[in-house]
């Protein structure tokens, strides 16, 4: 399991309690707390969080905060260990409010997290560069940099920083986890397997190494071997790794056994100790219907996801359910049915009591999905107008991932306008890990008459084993298109 959630949270780290006035003499970012007991809870929670044990980590950060109410980094970590957007934002703001009482290194860690959560790419990069310059020998700063570059798909730079982390500490187990993910993203599967095996050897009693290795095996299409690893993860840690049950389900999904897949998603739901896990399981179940080509059931399942989120006062998930329903309908040839879901999503955004930065993040997601919808409805002028607004927003925020989203949209609209060369160029600058972008690049090649390039990309989509809604929306389409381009290699 990756520690990183693109565009939202990054696990930040720091080291030991060291007086601020000698910070210039140390190689690691200090931790400021007045309580040895708080420090003990914090370090224990940090270790668990490094191995994705969020259920166990969260109460330890709560105890650290109770022992020292001015413990800035404990608030930061608590903001990232689960509980919903309100809890995340309130703890992050408490951490920000305490930056005047801590070291400069800790302050920059907190400002990095705030900039990332706010979507402010320029401030995020500024804080990261300062940390790297000031603490190049802090393995956890190198991890932070690695996760940042992973989030913007610069896997080579990401790998460089994770390798630096293990050069500093060759037994730094969780860094090998992300080395594995970087190597996997670069399609260096033997190196990825080596990294995950090293991770397993360093912490054999943890669940995450087996979960991560299972994900690699799934990507390689080694379904039975992947299932075995996911089962080990659940056996090792049945509390923190109920999500590995969905990993097993994903294997059955790609085997084409949707009934068995949904059985494991349901088991994940039933055994999850918190609402976050239950919502994740429902999301996987709903997405399985898209893979199966049953769009009506998919929309119904996402509505159920939204209903549970509303019952539990998880407004972000309610908004997400509506945007997702709209996007699914748009991509499935039912664009006219999507408008009511956009209205619901936008109503939830505007009536929420979220900070303006969070509302802006949700508006961006809704705006992006709406542009696809307008283009699908052939409302070209409206789509262009919305795209201009989206471009202005993205340019002001300087968020690399949002720039990729902008390029994906311009590429899609270029296809709609018959400008296939520009479409291919724009999509090449979009998210290179998205099967949706692979598919539309294939469409552009196909329409310009380059059947060979189209065939290769359709094949890439059809053979992909990385579960996502993007893939679910286009995998069957790509498989059908392969038939029409099947003779290009003959």
Environment class of 326 (CB within 10 Å of its CB; exposed 0-12, middle 13-18, buried 19+): buried
pTM of the prediction? 0.91
What does the pLDDT read at residue 1?
83
pLDDT of the chain along its 490 residues, tens only?
875 543 333 333 333 333 333 333 458 999 999 999 999 999 999 999 988 999 999 999 999 999 999 999 999 999 999 998 999 999 999 999 999 999 999 999 999 999 999 999 999 999 999 999 999 999 999 999 999 999 999 999 999 999 999 999 999 999 999 999 999 999 999 999 999 999 999 999 999 999 999 999 999 999 999 999 999 999 999 999 999 999 999 999 999 999 999 999 999 999 999 999 999 999 999 999 999 999 999 999 999 999 999 999 999 999 999 999 999 999 999 999 999 999 999 999 999 999 999 999 999 999 999 999 999 999 989 999 999 999 999 999 989 999 999 999 999 999 999 999 999 999 999 999 999 999 999 999 999 999 999 999 999 999 999 999 999 999 999 999 998 777 665 5
Q: What is the rounded CA–CA span in Å between residue 128 and residue 405?
A: 23
Q: How many CA atoms lie within 13 A of 225 on its CB side?
A: 11
Residue whose C-alpha is closest to residue 164's, from 153, 179, 149, 152: 179
Q: What is the rounded CA–CA span in Å between residue 9 and residue 279?
A: 18
Task: Name the token pair of 366.
Answer: 């809704």
What does the pLDDT read at residue 285?
98
Phi, psi of 307 (to 5 degrees): -65, -45
Q: What is the rounded CA–CA span in Å between residue 382 and residue 406?
A: 16
Q: Quick one: DSSP state of residue 108?
A: H
Distance of CA 386 to CAs 6, 338, 346, Å?
24, 17, 15
Q: What is the rounded CA–CA span in Å between residue 327 and residue 156?
A: 32
Residue whose C-alpha is closest to residue 39's, from 56, 10, 61: 61
Largest pairwise CA distance in the chain: 72
Q: What is the rounded CA–CA span in Å between residue 323 and residue 259?
A: 26
Looking at 293-351, list the stretches that DSSP marks H as alpha helix, in order from N- to C-terminal side.
Answer: 295-311, 315-331, 339-351
- SS3 per-residue string spanning 147-195: HHHHHCCCHHHHHHHHHHHHHHCCCCHHHHHHHHHHHHHCCCHHHHHHH
Q: Quick one: DSSP state of residue 398?
A: T
What does the pLDDT read at residue 309?
96
Q: How many CB atoms lie within 10 A of CB 68?
A: 20
Q: What is the rounded CA–CA span in Å between residue 62 and residue 150?
A: 29
> What are the chain's domains?
399-490 (1.25.40.10)
Q: Contact 378/415 with Cβ under 8 angstroms?
A: no
């Amino acid at each position: 399991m990756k520690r990183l959630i693109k565009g939202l949270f990054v696990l930040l780290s720091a080291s030991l309690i060291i007086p601020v006035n000698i910070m210039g003499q140390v190689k690691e970012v200090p931790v400021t707390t007045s309580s040895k007991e708080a420090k003990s809870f914090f370090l224990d929670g940090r270790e668990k969080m490094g191995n994705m044990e969020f259920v166990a980590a969260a109460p330890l950060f709560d105890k650290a905060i109770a022992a020292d109410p001015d413990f800035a980094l404990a608030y930061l970590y608590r903001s990232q260990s689960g509980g919903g957007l309100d809890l995340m934002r309130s703890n992050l703001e408490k951490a920000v409010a305490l930056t005047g009482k801590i070291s400069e290194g800790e302050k920059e860690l907190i400002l990095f997290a705030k900039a990332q959560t706010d979507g402010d790419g320029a401030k995020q990069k500024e804080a990261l560069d300062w940390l790297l310059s000031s603490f190049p020998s802090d393995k956890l700063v190198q991890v932070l940099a690695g996760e940042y570059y992973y989030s913007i798909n610069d896997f080579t730079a990401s790998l460089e920083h994770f390798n630096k982390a293990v050069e500093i500490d060759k037994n730094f187990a969780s860094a090998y986890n992300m080395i594995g993910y970087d190597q996997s993203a670069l399609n260096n599967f033997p190196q990825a397997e080596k990294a995950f095996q090293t991770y397993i050897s360093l912490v054999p009693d943890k669940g995450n190494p087996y979960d991560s290795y299972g994900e690699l095996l799934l990507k390689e299409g080694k379904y039975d071997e992947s299932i075995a690893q996911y089962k080990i993860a659940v056996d090792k840690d049945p509390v923190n790794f109920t999500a590995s049950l969905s990993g097993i389900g994903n294997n059955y999904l790609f085997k084409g056994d949707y009934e068995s897949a949904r059985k494991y998603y349901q088991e994940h739901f039933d055994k999850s100790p918190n609402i976050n896990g239950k919502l994740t399981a429902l999301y996987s179940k709903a997405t399985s219907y898209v893979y199966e080509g049953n769009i009506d059931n998919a929309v119904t399942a996402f509505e159920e996801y939204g209903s549970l989120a509303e019952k539990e006062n998880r407004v972000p998930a309610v908004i997400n359910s509506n945007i997702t329903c709209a996007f699914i309908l748009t991509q499935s040839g039912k664009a006219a049915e999507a408008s009511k879901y956009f209205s619901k999503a936008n109503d939830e955004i505007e009536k929420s009591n979220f900070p303006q930065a969070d509302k802006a993040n949700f508006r961006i997601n809704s705006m992006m999905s709406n542009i696809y919808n307008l283009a699908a409805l052939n409302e070209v002028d409206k789509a262009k107008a919305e795209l201009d607004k989206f471009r202005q927003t993205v340019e002001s925020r300087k968020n690399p991932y949002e720039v990729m989203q902008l390029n994906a949209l311009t590429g899609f609209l270029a296809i709609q306008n018959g400008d296939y060369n520009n479409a291919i160029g724009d999509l090449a600058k979009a998210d290179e890990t998205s099967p949706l972008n692979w598919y539309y690049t294939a469409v552009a090649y196909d329409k310009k008459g380059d059947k060979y390039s189209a065939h290769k990309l359709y094949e890439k989509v059809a053979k992909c084993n990385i579960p996502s809604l993007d893939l679910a929306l286009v995998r069957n389409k790509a498989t059908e298109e392969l038939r029409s381009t099947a003779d290009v290699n003959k």
